[in-house]
Structure 1
Amino acid sequence: MSEPATLQRVLQRHFVGYADRHRLDGHRLKVCRHLLNCHTPALGGIQYQCDQCHCQVPQYHSCRDRHCPQCQGRATRQWSERQQQAILPVTYYHLVFTLPHELNGWVQLHPEIIYSLLFQAVWTTLKAFGANPKRLGGKLGMTAVLHTWGQNLSQHVHLHCLVPGGVLTENQEWHSARSTYLFPVRALSRHFRGKMVSALRECATAGKLDRITRADEIDQLLDQLMKKDWVVYSKPCINHTETIIRYLAR
């Protein structure tokens, strides 16, 4: 039987060759080394021995890196359990807001800033749509999880949102959504695009994107992005809200 595929096994097989061909910064090198050494003799451990047969079994220490799938299993289960307990007896909607791949280079240079802007732009968009009296007219809720990579391990920055299908009105009454898609996807896309581009321009004006050094790159790219459609996905979770939560937890 073949060994199960894990991220650690992928690194064991390919990391040295990849690192020889591609330059990695200190943070990424540190994370990769942690994942390579997790639960191996490199981190030391405890030796257990049977009193009867004297068979010895080592138990190696974990790396405790937040990026490590082996170490974060418990945290993943706990987060999932908390979310499951907080589910309301309503239809939920799974929405995904994706950053255009043209921004991947900026994400590499200013990850903290752009990730924060992504959360703000998505929440501002959904909050505005929920509060609009022509739509739901109340306070919306959201659980959001940032994913920075796709299933093929390529850079693919997107925000998964789990949104209950309704709002609380000013009278603290529940107003249910009647649409199968919660909000029009095209309208969400345009609003999200405008908020994100505007926020990036403000950061650039304030000098917060100083690692982008090529002349006129910021204005040229943002002008280009305003002319294209941004990807937004929306689908009701009629019978599988728990499945979506487990996916987001992973």
Structure 2
Amino acid sequence: MRRIVMSKQKSGLIKRILKDHFDGFWKLNAYRFPKSYQADIKETVEKAIRFGTTDLGCSRYECLGCEGTPKPVFVCFTCKSRFCHKCGKKYTDDWSDSQQEKIFDVPHRHMVFTIPKEYHNRIFYQTLLQINYQSLV
């Protein structure tokens, strides 16, 4: 099967950067990642590079009711990776929409309690939570 690139636009900037520079980056920096992650990282980046091509599979649609010989339309499958610049955005948008549905539609305030880093010790966390609770009640 010949490879079909689906996008009528030029490949996105991130995809081009990955395609042009990932191999060189990987040769120089693979040792920085745990061995147990290296195969997954490489596979994920390669999927992101192949996004928008038939390499990941596609569906073919054509109208048999139209006169003449209409061109079939190919819809490529996505890589479904959160790392991918397109699939990851969709994943994030879907997650955000899901969270919006769970949030009560009422006025609310967001408060952040912080402490100096000298007190970033697990011993103090329970006390900190109790003090925060008391200040709100």
TM-score when normalising by structure 1: 0.35
Question: What is the deviation of 1:80?
Answer: 1.2
Q: Which runs of 4+ in 1 moved over 6 A?
A: none
The alignment partner of 2:59 has SS state of strand
2:42 is matched with 29
Shift of 1:92: 1.2
Q: Which runs of 5+ in 2 are unaligned?
A: 1-8, 32-37, 115-121
Change (3 A) 1:91 1:6: farther
Query: Partner letter of residue 55 of structure 1?
Result: K
Shift of 1:21: 3.1
Counting aligned pairs with the same residue, the percent is 19
Picking from 85, 89, 92, the partner of 2:110 is 92
**Is 1:57 equivalent to 2:73 in the alignment?**
yes
Higher helix proportion = 2
- Structure 1 unmatched runs, 5+: 97-120, 139-166, 168-174, 176-250
SS of the equivalent of 1:46 reads strand
Larger relative strand fraction: 1
**Length, aligned pairs only:** 110
Task: Check conservation: 2:82, 2:89, Cα contact below 8 A.
Answer: no
TM-score by length of 2: 0.57
Does 2:70 match 1:71? no
Match of 1:48 in 2: 61
Q: 2: distance between equivalents of 1:6 and 1:128?
A: 49
- Judging changes above 3 Å, is the alpha-carbon distance between structure 1 residues 94 and 56 closer, same or farther for their aligned structure 2 residues? farther
Q: Is the 8 A contact 2:57 2:77 kept in 1?
A: yes
Q: Is the 8 A contact 2:62 2:73 kept in 1?
A: yes
Which residue number in structure 1 is paired with residue 130 of structure 2? 131
Aligned Cα root-mean-square deviation (Å): 3.4
